[in-house]
Structure 1
Amino acid sequence: MNDDHFDGLVNDATHAVTNLIPDTVLDGLRDRERSDLLFQINDALTPILRDVIDRTDTDNPTRASTVAALISELLETHAQKCDEGGDCEDDRPPHVISEIHGTSANIDSIASCDMETGTQIYLVLDDRTSFRITVEAIAA
């Protein structure tokens, strides 16, 4: 399913959901509030429908979000293994080590965000540094 078809599906679903809301509720809203409601419904339906389409579209290649999830899971698994290593807390290696630069740090948090061009992974370390890793599909 291409992006135009998907956008049409989301818009149709948004209007179908909106049609289920009683007129007495919609009549009590100002124009701006009605518009905001449409956007909120659209935003709520988009990831749900995207997930359904992705699971049922057999011709769908691997997405950037899937690769970003893999990278995040690898980082989380690595951090967990470091946290479980050694006999005591002082024996555990840091999550990130650079012998060349003489630095080390632990991962405080990992988050990801889907963007129009791919997925971004946000990595925050306990040494007050943070990084944004961008995962983009370059060929399908």
Structure 2
Amino acid sequence: MHDDQFDALVDDATHAVNNLIPDRLLDGLGDSGRSNLLFQINDVLTPILREVVDTAGDDSDNPTRASTIAGLLSELLETHAAKCDDGGAREEDRPPHVISEVHGTSANIDSIASCDIETGTQIYLVLDDGAAFRIAVEAVA
């Protein structure tokens, strides 16, 4: 793994951990507090991930991994949420991130994170109505 790839891995992991923390807890930190928290998470994850990468060896010949697909799905959810947040001139005009007309419910995404497990990758999705979901992404071939 090249240094740029490793740096990207650490950055992605840092933001995934940060995304597990509900916004209501982060709001009290302010900009400098949030930035400091990101640096602290990054500093803790760097040696852990370095050891994992060093023991795993080179995987450049492997096909697309479940973690890559989970990252894609997370980015799609984040992009969708951002588009909803940008819609409408006023906050009350903006559509919720998740709407179920059948069940008469709606909510906004509070946090998204993912982690690798033995069988693939799991995406954790927490909504502002208190609902939480675990989405499993597993390779089948």
- Superposition TM-score tier, normalisation by shorter sequence: 0.5 to 0.7
CA distance 1:49–1:73, shift in 2 (3 Å): farther
1:64-75 correspondence to structure 2 within 5 Å: 64-75=66-77
Q: Could you tell me which amino acid in structure 2 is paired with residue 53 of structure 1? A: D
Q: Percent identity?
A: 71
Distance (whole Å) between structure 2 residues aligned to residue 69 and residue 49 of structure 1: 23
Q: Could you tell me which amino acid in structure 1 is paired with residue 58 of structure 2? A: I
Q: 1:118 aligns with which of 117, 120, 138?
A: 120
1:37-56 correspondence to structure 2 within 5 Å: 44-47=50-53, 50=56, 53-54=58-59
Distance (whole Å) between structure 1 residues aligned to residue 77 and residue 48 of structure 2: 33
Pick the structure with greater CA Rg. 1
Q: 1:91 aligns with which of 90, 93, 102?
A: 93
CA distance 1:100–1:47, shift in 2 (3 Å): farther
Residues 34-82 of structure 1 deviation map (CA, whole Å, 9 limit, x = unaligned): xxxxxxx7765114665x724xx2x311000000000000000000000
CA distance 1:137–1:84, shift in 2 (3 Å): same
| Structure 2 equivalent of residue 107 of structure 1 | 109
Query: What TM-score, normalized by structure 2, do the two folds share?
Result: 0.62
Gapped regions of structure 2 (runs ≥ 5) = 1-46
Q: Provide the aligned C-alpha RMSD in A.
A: 1.9
Gapped regions of structure 1 (runs ≥ 5) = 1-40
Distance (whole Å) between structure 2 residues aligned to residue 70 and residue 43 of structure 1: 21
Distance (whole Å) between structure 1 residues aligned to residue 54 and residue 87 of structure 2: 39
SS in 1 for 2:85: helix
**Runs of 4 or more off by more than 3 Å in structure 1?**
41-44, 47-50
CA distance 1:85–1:43, shift in 2 (3 Å): closer
Tell me the matched-pair count: 95
SS in 2 for 1:112: strand
